[in-house]
Structure 1
Amino acid sequence: MSYELIAILMFSTMMLMLLTGQRVFGAIGFVAVVAALLLWGDRGGYDIGFSAAMKLMKWYPLLTLPMFIFMGYVLAESKIADDLYKMFHVWMGGLSGGLAIGTIGLMVLISAMNGLSVAGMAIGATIALPELLKRGYDKKMVTGVIQAGSSLGILVPPSVVLVLYAMIARQPVGQLWLAGILPGLMMAGMFILYIVIRCRINPELGPALSKEERDVPMAEKLRLLRAGLLPLAIFAAMMVPFVNGWTSLVESSAIGALTAFAAAVLKGRMTRQVFEVSVRSTLGITCMFMWIILAALAFGAVFDGLGAVRAIETLFTERLGLNPWVILILMQLSFIVMGTFLDDTAMLVIVAPLYVPLVGELGFDLIWYGVLYTITTQIAYMTPPFGYNLFLMRAMAPPEISLRDIYGSILPFVMVMTLALAIIMTFPQIALWLPDYIYNK
């Protein structure tokens, strides 16, 4: 049996197992171990799994994963994130569409706190969505705002998914995080511009708050501003030493976790329940990611041994004569298809053993491709009819928002994100300028 046929058989078996409802890491790891045993016997097969485990345990930057997840859960469970929305409510409520713009700002700061898009959506759906509906905002528009804003969670640092990508692609986490900052802020700015234009054309979509609601004493406004900017101060305390080279990435993550914990204690919100929920959630998500990384490394080792990447590159470039850019676009389109039934992490670990080395062989920058991957996967599972985020939003939204409303709400924001993706593909320096500047300084 040829190696190309073995690679196709591995992928088809893995996809079949996923369709039967098996856990992602279980399906990937099982296929990797069985293929290794069949190809290289007992000794070689066992060595591949053991080597993947040792590589995972020796990867020092992996320590950032529990630190950032803990930081995010502490800030969310202690209700410090609620202060953010109160700040935006008071300072921006007087603008037409101001609360929707504030919600995007809320999502950016939550992304900087947590690094998970699901966390951003959960906070947006429970804090912002009821307030926006109560203030008369159009339900389609605000539902789209929350879904689009939550997409920034895996792009703006500290992105947990980019940590996973760094491990699989063997790229520096710090450079990937820096590469995500400008594209993330650009997308947030494009969302805000869209909201402003829509509400300027039709003010009924996002009515401004009444004069009575806006009549808040300046002292109260300043108090809310200080409380709302606390997460930003925590983010600055963590990132400034890292960017200036004073601390390593792991040390900065520890600073972020300790600063968030201290802030919750000083505000009197670090209860036993908050601490227990934060620790349990951190442990659960960290273990999940570690199992996924372990399975992906084992799967990738089998592919390296087969030489499948080189065979597929030869198929695309020599036999089919495709341009590298055409191959890259086809890869991105495949993410759109997979996003109908998989989340971003599953998509990465399934195709990373094939796509990431292939991107390098085609001459593209793997840091830049990491940014493209994160944006494309977000577009993928916000795209009807089976986008992952659409059903997640339906589960969190109040009964008056139907699935049809959610479908209609997301299309304009998907178009904005597609435009942002095209801009970054055309001008790679949007993603690469900051890491180049910081690391070459």
Structure 2
Amino acid sequence: MSYDMIALMMFASMMLMLMTGQRVFAAIGFVAVVASLALWGTGGGEIAFSAAMKLMKWYPLLTLPMFIFMGYILSESRLADDLYRMFHVWFGPVNGGLAIGTIGLMVLISAMNGLSVAGMAIGATIALPELLRRGYDKRMVTGVIQAGSSLGILVPPSVVLVLYAMIARQPVGQLWLAGVFPGLLMASLFILYIVIRCRLQPSLGPALPVGERDVPMAEKVRLLGAGILPLVIFGAMMVPFINGWTSLVESSAIGALTALAAAIVKGRLTRQVFETSVRQTLAISCMFMWIILAALCFGAVFDGLGAVRAIEGFFLDSLGLGPWEVLILMQLSYLLMGTFLDDTAMLVIVAPLYVPLVGSLGFDLIWYGVLYTITCQIAYMTPPFGYNLFLMRAMAPPEITIIDIYRSIVPFVGVMLLALVLVIVFPEIALWLPNHVYGK
């Protein structure tokens, strides 16, 4: 049997196991170990050992538990309550203003944690009940919260970009900076859509009643102080790192300690909050480490089979496609896989194939990391198995059905696709800031 056929069988076996409901790391790792033992005998066991050593020696991996802990501290201590009150006062008098404020809240939350889970939890527990109580359309608000929370994996410090950095062997700092402008662009497009839609249909997002608009300017200014907190946490992490004063891991520790200090100062750090945050941090960190370990094993076997070179030859020689056509096909395949896989599974399945191919085609791997992350955001919201869809269903009140949740994301997925196209056509949206800071 040819190596190409073996690689195809590995990929098909892995996909079959994933569709049976097996855990991602178990399916990928099992196929990798069985294939390595079948191909190279007992010596194939060295592949898993080598992958484990590589994982343990990758120093930036220590950032994962720091950022996860930071996100859960912010979520469990409900520090975002003050932020939402600020947006409520400043944007409430505008049609769709509270939905606009929710997007602003999500941007700030994204700058304080690297996952979408914290943003979804905050949006569903703080913003959703308030928006429904104010008469906002239930499909509009569920779409707003799902779309806004997805910014957590694009706006730095993104955990997904840390995982991509490890597999693609790219600097995490440059990837984070590359996500800043695309993240702000996407948030701006969300806000533009809300403004236009609520102007055309004011009933979807009514303004606050006149009686609630009469807030003294002194109170409005005081509430602006709530917006300083995420800027302080973000600045405490990023400024020393960008200036070279601290390493990536040290900056992540500063961010976690700053979030913890903020919870203490606000009087929100209880024993229950701390224990829940630590338990969730441990669970998610271990999950990520097992997945990365399985991905490294699978990628090593694939690389040994020459699967990457075979795929490159198939696209460029057999099909006669150009580099841009291959890139578009790869993004389309991500969108297709996103209907039944989450972002981490997609990364570990195809990154060993796609990342070397993208590099050989002459594309910038930092820029491609942003494209991958935007595609993951879309995957978070695409039926039938979008991650955010299930989170929203678990947190939403009974009057919001799964059909409402599915229909709510349609316009926001369209906005995300527009943002993806803009970053593809204009790579400098992602590359200008890292190139400017790092002096390329």
Q: TM-score range by the shorter chain?
A: over 0.9
- Contact 2:341–2:385 (8 Å) recurs in 1: no
Q: Which residue identity lines up with residue 394 of structure 1 in the other structure?
A: R
Residues 99-132 of structure 1, C-alpha deviation per residue, up to 9 Å, x if partnerless?
0000000111111112111221121111111100
Distance in structure 2 (CA, Å) of the matches to 1:313 and 1:336: 20
Residue 107 of structure 1 corresponds to 106
Residue 14 of structure 2 corresponds to 14
Distance in structure 1 (CA, Å) of the matches to 2:88 and 2:366: 37
Distance apart, 1:370 and its partner CA? 0.7
**Corresponding residue SS for 1:114:** coil
Distance in structure 2 (CA, Å) of the matches to 1:256 and 1:386: 32
- Contact 2:85–2:223 (8 Å) recurs in 1: yes
Residue 233 of structure 1 corresponds to 232
Residue 119 of structure 2 corresponds to 120
- Contact 2:174–2:366 (8 Å) recurs in 1: yes
* Within-5 A mapping of 1:95-174: 95-174=94-173
Distance in structure 2 (CA, Å) of the matches to 1:27 and 1:181: 34
Q: Which residue identity lines up with residue 403 of structure 1 in the other structure?
A: I
Residue 346 of structure 2 corresponds to 347
Change (3 A) 1:46 1:313: same
Length, aligned pairs only: 440
Residue 431 of structure 2 corresponds to 432
Normalised by the size of structure 1, how large is the TM-score? Answer: 0.97
* Within-5 A mapping of 1:409-420: 409-420=408-419
Distance apart, 1:439 and its partner CA? 0.9
Distance apart, 1:386 and its partner CA? 4.4
Distance in structure 2 (CA, Å) of the matches to 1:201 and 1:248: 49
- Contact 2:150–2:380 (8 Å) recurs in 1: no
Does residue 58 in structure 1 map to residue 57 in structure 2? yes
Does residue 79 in structure 1 map to residue 78 in structure 2? yes
Distance apart, 1:173 and its partner CA? 0.7
Distance in structure 2 (CA, Å) of the matches to 1:130 and 1:399: 12
- Contact 2:75–2:121 (8 Å) recurs in 1: no
- Contact 2:340–2:384 (8 Å) recurs in 1: no
Q: Which residue identity lines up with residue 16 of structure 2 in the other structure?
A: L
- Contact 2:106–2:149 (8 Å) recurs in 1: yes
Distance apart, 1:385 and its partner CA? 4.5
Segment drifting more, 93-102 vs 390-399: 390-399
Segment drifting more, 170-179 vs 215-224: 215-224
Q: Which residue identity lines up with residue 42 of structure 1 in the other structure?
A: T
Distance in structure 1 (CA, Å) of the matches to 2:382 and 2:287: 26
Residue 378 of structure 2 corresponds to 379
- Contact 2:73–2:259 (8 Å) recurs in 1: yes
Q: Which residue identity lines up with residue 133 of structure 1 in the other structure?
A: L
Residue 327 of structure 2 corresponds to 328
- Contact 1:112–1:153 (8 Å) recurs in 2: yes
- Contact 2:124–2:395 (8 Å) recurs in 1: yes
Distance in structure 1 (CA, Å) of the matches to 2:170 and 2:109: 25
* Within-5 A mapping of 1:31-50: 31-43=31-43, 45-50=44-49
- Contact 1:368–1:432 (8 Å) recurs in 2: yes
Q: Which residue identity lines up with residue 299 of structure 2 in the other structure?
A: G
Distance apart, 1:155 and its partner CA? 0.3
Distance apart, 1:340 and its partner CA? 1.5
* Within-5 A mapping of 1:185-204: 185-204=184-203
Distance apart, 1:413 and its partner CA? 1.0
Sequence identity, in percent? 81
Q: Which residue identity lines up with residue 319 of structure 2 in the other structure?
A: L
* Within-5 A mapping of 1:185-334: 185-334=184-333
Distance apart, 1:95 and its partner CA? 1.2
Distance in structure 2 (CA, Å) of the matches to 1:146 and 1:161: 20
**Corresponding residue SS for 2:398:** coil
- Contact 2:89–2:220 (8 Å) recurs in 1: yes
Distance in structure 2 (CA, Å) of the matches to 1:238 and 1:356: 28
Residues 345-374 of structure 1, C-alpha deviation per residue, up to 9 Å, x if partnerless?
111111111111111111111111111011
**Corresponding residue SS for 1:41:** helix
Cα RMSD after superposing both structures: 1.3
Distance in structure 1 (CA, Å) of the matches to 2:391 and 2:12: 27
- Contact 1:86–1:228 (8 Å) recurs in 2: no
Q: Which residue identity lines up with residue 51 of structure 1 in the other structure?
A: S
Normalised by the size of structure 2, how large is the TM-score? Answer: 0.97
Q: Which residue identity lines up with residue 184 of structure 1 in the other structure?
A: G
- Contact 1:336–1:381 (8 Å) recurs in 2: no
Distance in structure 2 (CA, Å) of the matches to 1:392 and 1:247: 36
- Contact 1:85–1:228 (8 Å) recurs in 2: no
Residue 183 of structure 2 corresponds to 184
Q: Which residue identity lines up with residue 217 of structure 1 in the other structure?
A: P
- Contact 1:84–1:229 (8 Å) recurs in 2: no
**Corresponding residue SS for 2:185:** helix
- Contact 1:162–1:173 (8 Å) recurs in 2: yes
Residues 7-64 of structure 1, C-alpha deviation per residue, up to 9 Å, x if partnerless?
0110111111111111100111111111111111112x12111111111111111111
* Within-5 A mapping of 1:399-418: 399-418=398-417
**Corresponding residue SS for 1:115:** coil
- Contact 1:340–1:388 (8 Å) recurs in 2: no
Distance in structure 2 (CA, Å) of the matches to 1:292 and 1:251: 24
Does residue 362 in structure 1 map to residue 361 in structure 2? yes
Distance apart, 1:416 and its partner CA? 1.0
